[in-house]
Chains A and B, each alone.
Chain A
Amino acid sequence: MRVNIVMPKMGESINEGTIIKWHKKKGDKVQKDEIIFEISTDKVDTEIPSSEEGTLVEIKAFEQETVEVGEVVAVIETESDAASNADQEEQKSEEKVPSTKQVGGDLIDIPMPKMGESVMEGTIIKWYKKVGDNVESDETLFEISTDKVDTEVPSPVKGVLAEIITNENETVEVGEIVARIKSSTGISYGKIEDKKAEPQKETAVAAKEETTKKSSSTAEIYLDKPVSDRFYSPVVLNIARKENIPFDELERIGGSGVKGRLTKKDLFNYLEARKSGSVTKPRPTEYQSKPSQKETVKFEASETQTTSFGNIDVVPMDNIRSKIMEHMVKSRDTSVHVTAMIEVDMTQIHNYIERNKDTFQNNEGIKLTYMPFISYAAINALKQFPFVNASIEGNNILVKKFINLGIAVAVEPNGLIVPNIKNADERNIRGLAKAINQIGQKARNKGLSPDDISGGTFTITNYGVFGSLFGTPIINQPEVAILGVGTVTKKPVVVEVNGVDSIAIKPMMYLSLAHDHRLVDGMLGGRFLKAVKDTLENFDINLV
């Protein structure tokens, strides 16, 4: 088979590229992934690997020539073409799934994406599409969990999901192919179908049958794994199986039967509505919120153990949980944690918020909370004491000249993530309020990018939202300190007015600073806290 090699698309705004060097010449054998040429665009120079194994039979664009993205620059004759028909037959029977070489259309490999420099593998936690489904370009294909972040991966092309190679809950290395999409437009690696090769057509048909078969069996697999203890009648299950409704979709259909049971009628109504378009297949956002709500209610125990003390549910740890566990232990083993606390009079800020919360909500569309003020005070203190905005590398102290302020966000049901606000020192209260709100939303909606969670220099954790007065937080490595924020409560406090002690009622708050004693001693920690306190107690409301 002859495969066209096209000028690849290197970015959204890049429409052409210049070939600066051919690494292979006509007639050379080419291995898959071997570099065949090098291009230069206005943004980047890059080496282009071959998508196929075979022989370079034609070079259509020469060095220093500039061609448009998508234009054919070379043709590779793949090995399979040389093979005899008998071999092909054999190959066909051996291959269980349609492969790139056999299907006449354009099969696009979907690899596990690289989510960050240090991220080497990812776990597929959910497929949003099943084999046979139509996929739009940029439509969410699957969701992955890495040790840093959960994220949704969009499809690079429009087409039909031809094959799922990595199932849910499987972990694969970055770059490994997790699925194949049969592209309907066929852009990235154009292929010429050899029209004379009749047997290939048969193969394509066989492959198609395989795909259909696979899709129906996939649905059955879904149906064999009930994810809840909701009752489904045999008839409902039969309908779901015949109509290819996976279990998780069934779970979302409201039931009108006894105790919310899903009846045949409900299912028919749903199918009818879906057909007429009044119910769209649930969109990814709905997908995210639903299961998490469910999980807050209960964990999914894989088994229940009975001991002499009673029953114990055994809940397998999900990826996020085990990563949090690793990080916590690592931080404890790395840093020498000490915690200092200080009490802060929040009267000024409390009053300011009370007066302005409605206007702020109206103008900005978000709630005004204590957090942007505390963040602002912490940033001020970090500027005064740069050693708190630092990390340790071997025998060196890395003092960061930028402040990327991390905010710990609890993600239901049991996740914790620390995205950071880049260059937080460049923001005012309003800007901080928006940024805090934004990263919080992103974290809860699994919308964080690897960038959002890397490069942090200092972290604030607000355990006060749960009503805690003070805590001793664990440092987010490789930072050297973390500020804990307690709840603001009204308390009787002794104030001195004109030299006379009296008792007043004031909104008070405890701040705690857990710092790494290897770098931050008690004096520095204490001064830092005092600086935060001073900023908060003497807040200049003109700064808002």
Chain B
Amino acid sequence: MSKKFDVAVLGGGPGGYVAAIRAAQLGYKTAVIEKENLGGICLNWGCIPTKSLLRNAELYDLMNNHADEFGLKVEGLSFDFSKIIKRSREVSEKVTNGVEFLMRKNKIERIKGYGKFKDKNTIEVFDDKEELSDTVSADKIIIATGAHPKQIPSIPVDRKKIITSREAMSLDSQPKEMIVIGAGAIGVEFAYFYSVFGTNVTIIEMMDSLVPVEDKEVSQTLERSFKKRKIKIYTSTKVLKAEVKSKKVKVTIEKNGKEEILEADTVLNAIGVEGNVDGFGLEKIGVEVERGHIKVDKSTYQTNVDGVYAIGDVIGPPWLAHVASAEGIYCVEKLKGLNPPLVGYESIPGCTYCHPQIGSIGLTEEKAKDEGYEIKVGKFPFSASGKSAAIGEREGFVKIIFDAKYGEILGAHIIGPEATELIAELGLAKSLEADFETIVKTVHAHPTLSESVMEAAANAYGESIHI
């Protein structure tokens, strides 16, 4: 069966389905092609199911370790691991169904199957049995095929003993020991999750700190917190190889030129992701791929092939769902001839949902200095916040970095309670090009955690009230 559309989107993740909805809103006859459930990694195997798991961890951690502090008596506290996993899968299913509904609501044709380019305006869709089920032709095609966990030969993933994030959120039983390779957001979230439930976790990072993209002080605070949880941390450490030996996995590491062998029943490969660029005919239509990612012009998101666009993880970092969505919307609006402002890559918040949470935007202190800015730094610890004391979450701080010359917010870094929500205010402030005064003179409600944002801004100019 052959169908003709204005816009066809290959891939139904947070980049693809959002682009499809925006295209439909703008009056394009639109199709979205996806072999699995809509929502991509984010809704099915990433953001949403992991946040569900982390909620379990948070509650259990609170009951298990802090009940007494709140005067609560908990006896016989236990958990059912398979049920924790089950809840996570249910949450995922629910939200993906929501996306299916949105497709119908916006009259987008949802084509199930694996799409491959026939030519630059035609995608052939194959079903489970790899038989041709549909042929989709469209004036414009947007590639939003996403990314997958990066694999390297020295860490051979077998999906049982050496696993990726996908398996880590659907294990049948809880591992006793786990070695997490890579201390990015995915690595530290799983390290936190499994350690709360009693798994002996070791985390290995090649760079010199946990969450290496974050501000150094944030990394240090997280490291202290993780050490308290008895998570073993190896930074500046290289993994030479990982081998499955009977029931265990042996991981050979090298730190300061010295080799060491660690053992665990499960190893999580969390070294990063890379674009899905193979197996759907990119080479056939001549789309240029560079180091595992499609090359695009970021003022249109067009590839080197006329009428073929690409957005989201497949075009490279930052690999974030909200970036994919923003790119998808921009791409379609630009197609329509609207004049959207460029995606503001310098103002993209990054969030990590371990405990304490991390939310950040813009430049770190080190980066700002490297770029030659003269800076003013304001910091406010949650230990000085009334609301933090009340809820018993006194770990962490808000740190804001201003350009001394023009008062611009260069970056903001929050580690602590609800950091991932608190960062939103600074995202808005940054994109509106607010300065220190704008934040300080905005009345923040008391008692809230968000007061800490105001205080941190004030602190940069020596006007903080509560420290």
Contacts and interface: CB of A to CB of B under 8 A. Distances in A.
B421 interface: no
Contacts of A263: 341, 433
A288 interface: no
Contact of A242 (B342, B406, B437): B406
A423 interface: no
Interface centre among B408, B433, B435, B438 (most CB of A within 10 A): B433
B426 to A, nearest CB: 14
A256 B342 contact: yes
Nearest to B439: A234
Interface in A230-251: 233-236, 238-239, 242
A502 to B, nearest CB: 55
B237 to A, nearest CB: 40
Contacts of B59: none
A238 B406 contact: yes
Interface string B398-440: 0000000111100000000000000000000000111101100
Interface of B: 341-342, 405-408, 432-435, 437-438
Contacts of A257: 341
A258 interface: yes
Contact of B432 (A233, A238, A239, A242): A233
B192 to A, nearest CB: 36
A197 to B, nearest CB: 40
A267 to B, nearest CB: 10
Interface in A247-267: 256-258, 261, 263-264
A238 B341 contact: no
A238 to B, nearest CB: 5
B335 to A, nearest CB: 18
A234 B341 contact: no
Interface of A: 233-236, 238-239, 242, 256-258, 261, 263-264
23 contacts: A233-B433, A233-B434, A234-B407, A234-B434, A234-B435, A234-B438, A235-B406, A235-B407, A235-B408, A235-B433, A235-B435, A238-B407, A238-B408, A238-B435, A242-B405, A242-B406, A256-B341, A256-B342, A257-B341, A261-B341, A263-B433, A264-B408, A264-B433
B287 to A, nearest CB: 28
A163 B342 CA distance: 43
A287 B279 CA distance: 59
B437 A234 contact: yes
B406 A239 contact: yes
Contacts of A236: 433
A257 B432 CA distance: 10
Question: What 10 A-B pairs have minimum CB-CB distances, sorted nearest first?
Answer: A233-B433, A235-B433, A234-B435, A235-B408, A238-B406, A238-B407, A257-B341, A234-B438, A239-B406, A234-B434
A233 B407 CA distance: 11
A11 B194 CA distance: 93
A236 B437 CA distance: 13
Nearest to B346: A265
A239 B433 CA distance: 11
User: Which residue of A235, A236, A242, A257 has the most chain B CB atoms within 10 A of its CB atom?
Assistant: A235
Contacts of A238: 406-408, 435
B340 to A, nearest CB: 8
B433 A234 contact: yes
Nearest to B435: A234
Contacts of B434: 233-235
B341 A258 contact: yes
Interface centre among B341, B405, B437, B438 (most CB of A within 10 A): B341
Nearest to B433: A233
Nearest to A258: B341
A256 B435 CA distance: 20
Given A234-B438, A242-B406, 18 more contacts: A233-B432, A233-B433, A233-B434, A234-B407, A234-B433, A234-B434, A234-B435, A234-B437, A235-B407, A238-B406, A238-B408, A238-B435, A242-B405, A256-B342, A257-B341, A261-B341, A263-B433, A264-B433
A235 B437 CA distance: 10
B341 to A, nearest CB: 5
Contacts of B342: 256
A174 to B, nearest CB: 44
Contacts of A258: 341
Nearest to A233: B433
Contacts of A242: 405-406
Which has the most chain B C-beta neighbours within 10 Å: A234, A239, A257, A261?
A234
A525 B400 CA distance: 82
Nearest to B430: A235
Nearest to A236: B433
A223 to B, nearest CB: 14
Nearest to A235: B433
Contacts of A261: 341
B410 to A, nearest CB: 10
A233 B430 CA distance: 10
A256 to B, nearest CB: 6
A236 B438 CA distance: 13
A264 B341 CA distance: 13
Contacts of B432: 233
Contacts of B341: 256-258, 261, 263
Nearest to A232: B433
Contacts of B433: 233-236, 263-264
A233 B438 CA distance: 10
B313 to A, nearest CB: 26
Contacts of B437: 234
A262 to B, nearest CB: 9
Q: Which of A233, A242, A256, A258 has the most CB of B within 10 A?
A: A233
A215 B389 CA distance: 50
A258 B339 CA distance: 9
Nearest to B432: A233
B394 to A, nearest CB: 32
A263 B344 CA distance: 11
A233 B409 CA distance: 12
Nearest to B438: A234
A263 B407 CA distance: 14
A269 to B, nearest CB: 13
Contacts of B435: 234-235, 238
Contacts of A239: 406
A236 B432 CA distance: 10
A235 B404 CA distance: 11
Contacts of A256: 341-342
Nearest to A234: B435
A255 to B, nearest CB: 9
B412 to A, nearest CB: 14
A250 to B, nearest CB: 14
A256 B343 CA distance: 11
B400 to A, nearest CB: 14
A443 to B, nearest CB: 36
A258 B333 CA distance: 13
Contacts of A235: 406-408, 433-435
B415 to A, nearest CB: 26
Query: Interface centre among B406, B407, B408, by most A CB within 10 Å?
Result: B406
Nearest to A268: B406
A242 B341 CA distance: 26
Contacts of B407: 234-235, 238
Nearest to A264: B433
A256 B407 CA distance: 21
A235 B405 CA distance: 10
A261 B431 CA distance: 11
B425 to A, nearest CB: 15
A42 B407 CA distance: 63
B274 to A, nearest CB: 30
Nearest to B429: A234
A465 B405 CA distance: 55
B458 to A, nearest CB: 15
Nearest to B434: A234
A510 B44 CA distance: 79
A239 B435 CA distance: 11
A242 B407 CA distance: 11
A175 B128 CA distance: 92
